[in-house]
Amino acid sequence: MKLAESVLSGNRLALSRLITQVENNTPEGLEALGSLFANTGRAHLIGVTGAPGTGKSSLVNRLARHYRQVQAGRKDTSVAIIAVDPSSPFSGGALLGDRIRMRDLSGDPNVFIRSMASRGSLGGLARSTSGVVQALDAAGYDIILIETVGAGQAEVDIARLAHTTLVVEAPGLGDDIQAIKAGILEIADILVINKADRPGVENTERALRSMLDLSYPVRRSFRGGNLEKVKAKDESIWQVPIQRTVATEGTGIQELSELISRHKAYLVETNEWERRDQERLESELENLIRLTLMRRFRSTVEDDRYREIVSRLISRSISPHQAVAELLGGLNRGNGDHPV
Amino acid sequence: MKLAESVLSGNRLALSRLITQVENNTPEGLEALGSLFANTGRAHLIGVTGAPGTGKSSLVNRLARHYRQVQAGRKDTSVAIIAVDPSSPFSGGALLGDRIRMRDLSGDPNVFIRSMASRGSLGGLARSTSGVVQALDAAGYDIILIETVGAGQAEVDIARLAHTTLVVEAPGLGDDIQAIKAGILEIADILVINKADRPGVENTERALRSMLDLSYPVRRSFRGGNLEKVKAKDESIWQVPIQRTVATEGTGIQELSELISRHKAYLVETNEWERRDQERLESELENLIRLTLMRRFRSTVEDDRYREIVSRLISRSISPHQAVAELLGGLNRGNGDHPV
């Protein structure tokens, strides 16, 4: 309780400690997160993703500075940045560079920066990122920028976490890279062409635009986990805009922040904000149920018995389904009691 | 039983029907798979992955033809190809093209070709691919080539399934694409530079070689699911070779097939073959347990009660952990009963 109260009172050190607890999945951290939960749901979660070399980190840096400067005169906007590294041995260097670049933000008491690395499983990373976001949300940060290094499932999971997902591209990448990133395009709410002062920016924009047109009917498929075709060019559907930026010089940052605000307004007007929030909470609940059930199962089955059944499986005396039947009791075949 | 027996007798139509049953997760399919399970574990599973545009499909095509031709004089080697498409709306065209190119193989009674698309979740795809591989393995195919279109988690899952994973690259991709594919490099047993008659092949090989050197200490991390650092350049560790090919002309295919044989020999000698087989079966068992537990949980909790708890979660009256406690009974806080 003490920890949760300190976080609510704005104590940065307490927040850092809570985040470490959440990352380590301690009972204290979970308890504090539970009592802070009522204070969550207010922050605008913005995911920023894209291939290495597109300048994501500079963009995040600039956006954070923009939010701090622009709003300074009116209401003060606090910003948190989470840099998530899904544990590729190659990205360590890049992440370090990003942290150095972010130094000019870290003196600001209304900016909180945290790097997170995966410790083993990607699923675990998504889970602890969700906990860290909750902690920052409860601590009152208005905007939480979630930057992911790497490609693939991690991006999709993080897009599920965010209200608004920016996918960052850059000119000068060949046809092949356009293709590989097709999967990432599907999760974009806003496309950013960073390094837009480089040659080839027109080609990049043209390619992205044609891919957007191509993908329209099924683009929002990832949101619900299922393929859900929507009417192409439906007026009530968000039309993914493309924004050029040169993050290192601040070009296009103002326009980008306006698009982000417009996306937030769209989410609120169409009740998408609420829907995404609900979806996120439900999927988090489901994950927790799954983990709890597995943990309980492991505590009820003796190790020796489990090893014995596994060795019969490995010797192919029993099939995987027969092994499950022995461990969990009979599966009633034929009455639909099979994995779906 | 009937279906399983027909598959064992070499009936291709029965095999096709079984695969469809497995894909649709029918009780009949699961039962047949269960009775065929004792006949699995013999095929050499070869995963082939890489970015679009690298010519993976041509390579798979050529490898299959090579295995059919070379072995024709001695023992007859049968080959199955599974082309897995993790449901990007963009890859439909490419997959169609691949299928047309594979036509010259489909007249051969000892070649079996199957395309699989995701129907919703990626997890579901990995699960049904595993079932289809078991069916083909039981049906007696000596070599099963598993080709994946797309990038990310799907590749990692499929690498877990395969004994030998080829990662295909091509020259002429910039620095950025090298970086984005870093995560994929980690799962490679053999690196193939296809389209090796293109300019820039030396640069590509140099870049890949330096990435391999860089990644050595942790490269095998994905195998066990955990980061498991191995001694760099350990003699008993497989040194990932790089093979140049021009699949469209058949160049390098003979050499590649020799590397694949050498990798198989390495796996068998070091007991890695057995270890990977065991790991795969254990992780399949765990997935089935998880699915079964969730299914049982859903059948015990009334929908109304579940919806009521979810709505309290969404209104933030209770936290996710409190919701789990209500649904599954008290979580004993503080005694380690928390998600790990």
- Residue-wise pLDDT for A312-327, tens only, equals 999 999 998 889 999 9
| d(CA A70, nearest CA chain B) in Å | 32
Q: Are B80 and A178 in contact (CB under 8 A)?
A: no
Task: Determine contact: A86 vs chain B, CB below 8 A.
Answer: yes
Chain B residue numbers with beta carbons less than 8 Å from the beta carbon of A37 are 316, 318-320
Query: Which has the minimum average pLDDT: A105-114, A229-238, B145-154, B263-272?
Result: A229-238
The residue whose two tokens read 């395009």 is A185
Using alpha carbons, select from A284, A36, A22, A37 the residue that is nearest to residue A161. Answer: A284
| d(CA A107, nearest CA chain B) in Å | 32
Rounded Cα gap, residues B189 and B224, in angstroms: 15
Q: Are B251 and A283 in contact (CB under 8 A)?
A: no
Rounded Cα gap, residues B48 and B64, in angstroms: 12
**Is residue A64 over pLDDT 80?**
yes
Q: At what angle do helices A12-24 and A122-138 cross, to 10 degrees?
A: 160
Q: For residue range A21-54, what is the model confidence (pLDDT) as tens digits?
A: 988 888 899 889 999 999 999 999 999 987 767 8
| d(CA A103, nearest CA chain B) in Å | 25
Tokens of A336: 């639909």
User: Shortest CB distance from A314 goes to which of B35, B281, B293?
Assistant: B281
| d(CA B75, nearest CA chain A) in Å | 26
Task: Determine contact: B52 vs chain A, CB below 8 A.
Answer: yes
Centroid of chain to Cα B232 = 26
B115 band by pLDDT with thresholds 50, 70 and 90? confident
Q: What is the mean pLDDT of residues A9-22?
A: 93
* Percent with pLDDT over 70 in chain A: 73
pLDDT at A25: 82
Contact state of A320 with B285 under an 8 Å Cβ cutoff: yes
**Is residue B235 over pLDDT 60?**
no
| d(CA B108, nearest CA chain A) in Å | 31
pLDDT at B311: 94
A279 band by pLDDT with thresholds 50, 70 and 90? confident
pLDDT at B332: 43
Contact state of A53 with B176 under an 8 Å Cβ cutoff: yes
Contact state of A89 with B31 under an 8 Å Cβ cutoff: no
**Longest C-alpha distance within chain A, in Å?**
73
Task: Determine contact: B277 vs chain A, CB below 8 A.
Answer: yes
Q: C-alpha distances in angstroms, A309 versus A61, A312, A321, B33?
A: 53, 5, 11, 18
* Chain mean pLDDT for chain B: 79
* Strand ranges, E, within A41-90: 44-50, 79-85
Rounded Cα gap, residues B37 and A316, in angstroms: 7
Contact state of A324 with B285 under an 8 Å Cβ cutoff: yes
pLDDT at A6: 95
Task: Determine contact: B229 vs chain A, CB below 8 A.
Answer: no
Using alpha carbons, select from B126, B160, B183 the residue that is nearest to residue B277. Answer: B160
Residue A169's DSSP bridge partners are: A193
Q: What is the mean pLDDT of residues B289-299?
A: 90
**Is residue A14 over pLDDT 60?**
yes
* Residue B170 region by backbone torsions, left for phi larger than 0, else alpha for psi between -120 and 50, else beta: beta
Residue of A nearest to B282 (CA): A310
Tokens of A12: 């940065």
Q: Are A96 and A55 in contact (CB under 8 A)?
A: no
Centroid of chain to Cα B154 = 7
Q: What is the mean pLDDT of residues A249-253?
A: 96
Exposed e or buried b per residue across A88-110, where buried means at least 16 C-beta atoms within 10 angstroms of its C-beta: bbbbeebbeebeeebeebeeeeb
**Is residue A284 over pLDDT 80?**
yes
**Is residue A189 over pLDDT 90?**
yes
User: What is the ipTM metric for this complex?
Assistant: 0.74
Q: C-alpha distances in angstroms, A174 versus A179, B176, B209?
A: 9, 10, 22
**Is residue B203 over pLDDT 90?**
no
Query: Residue B144: helix, strand or coil by DSSP?
Result: strand
Task: Determine contact: B212 vs chain A, CB below 8 A.
Answer: no
Task: Determine contact: B200 vs chain A, CB below 8 A.
Answer: no
| d(CA B278, nearest CA chain A) in Å | 6
Q: What is the mean pLDDT of residues B99-106?
A: 62
Q: Which helix (H) or strand (E) holds B338?
A: none
CA A81-B123-B287 angle, to 5 degrees, is 110
Centroid of chain to Cα B289 = 21
Residue A5 phi/psi, 5-degree rounding, is -65, -40
A74 band by pLDDT with thresholds 50, 70 and 90? low
Q: Please return the burial class of B271, using the count of CB atoms within 10 Å of its CB with bins 0-12, 13-18 and 19+.
A: exposed
Q: What is the mean pLDDT of residues B113-119?
A: 73
Domains of chain A: 40-270 (3.40.50.300)
Rounded Cα gap, residues A211 and A223, in angstroms: 19
- Torsion angle in degrees (nearest 10) through CA of B228, B234, B238, B239: 110
Task: Determine contact: B305 vs chain A, CB below 8 A.
Answer: no
pLDDT at A17: 94
Contact state of B89 with A324 under an 8 Å Cβ cutoff: no
Contact state of B288 with A180 under an 8 Å Cβ cutoff: no
Which DSSP category does A208 fall into?
H
Query: Residue A192: helix, strand or coil by DSSP?
Result: strand
Q: For residue range A204-230, what is the model confidence (pLDDT) as tens digits?
A: 888 788 777 765 544 443 344 433 444
Query: Which has the minimum average pLDDT: A120-134, B10-24, B130-144, B257-271?
Result: A120-134
Higher pLDDT, B99 or B289: B289
**Is residue A166 over pLDDT 90?**
yes
Rounded Cα gap, residues A281 and A276, in angstroms: 9
Using alpha carbons, select from B323, B294, B292 the residue that is nearest to residue A282. Answer: B323
- Torsion angle in degrees (nearest 10) through CA of A238, A240, A241, A242: 170
Q: Which helix (H) or strand (E) holds B243?
A: strand B242-244
**Longest C-alpha distance within chain B, in Å?**
73
Tokens of B129: 């691919």
Using alpha carbons, select from B155, B46, B121, B214 the residue that is nearest to residue A151. Answer: B155
User: Shortest CB distance from A320 goes to which of B151, B177, B288?
Assistant: B288
pLDDT at B176: 42
pLDDT at A123: 54
Using alpha carbons, select from A118, A191, A178, A105 the residue that is nearest to residue A150. Answer: A118
Q: Are A158 and A47 in contact (CB under 8 A)?
A: yes
Task: Determine contact: A306 vs chain B, CB below 8 A.
Answer: no
